[in-house]
A and B are shown apart, each in its own frame.
Chain A
Amino acid sequence: KQEVTQIPAALSVPEGENLVLNCSFTDSAIYNLQWFRQDPGKGLTSLLLIQSSQREQTSGRLNASLDKSSGRSTLYIAASQPGDSATYLCAVQNSGNTPLVFGKGTRLSVIA
Chain B
Amino acid sequence: SQTIHQWPATLVQPVGSPLSLECTVEGTSNPNLYWYRQAAGRGLQLLFYSVGIGQISSEVPQNLSASRPQDRQFILSSKKLLLSDSGFYLCAWSSQSLGTEAFFGQGTRLTVV
Contact = CB atoms under 8 A, between A and B. Distances in A.
Given A34-B102, A49-B101, A89-B44, A99 B34 contact: yes
Chain B's interface: helix, strand, loop or mixed, by majority? strand
Interface residues of B, number: 25
Chain A's interface: helix, strand, loop or mixed, by majority? strand
- Interface bin, chain A: 20 to 34
A104 B43 contact: yes
Contacts of B109: 41
Contacts, number: 54
A36 B36 CA distance: 14
A98 to B, nearest CB: 8
Given A34-B101, A96-B100, A99-B49, A44 B43 contact: no
B103 interface: yes
Interface string A86-112: 000101010011011111110000000
A26 interface: no
B62 interface: no
Interface of A: 31-32, 34, 36, 41-46, 49, 51, 89, 91, 93, 96-97, 99-105
A99 B100 contact: no
B107 A43 contact: yes
B106 interface: yes
B104 A43 contact: yes
26 contacts: A31-B100, A34-B101, A34-B102, A36-B104, A41-B107, A42-B106, A43-B6, A43-B90, A43-B104, A43-B107, A44-B90, A44-B92, A44-B104, A46-B103, A49-B99, A49-B100, A51-B99, A93-B100, A97-B32, A99-B34, A99-B59, A100-B46, A100-B102, A102-B44, A104-B43, A105-B43
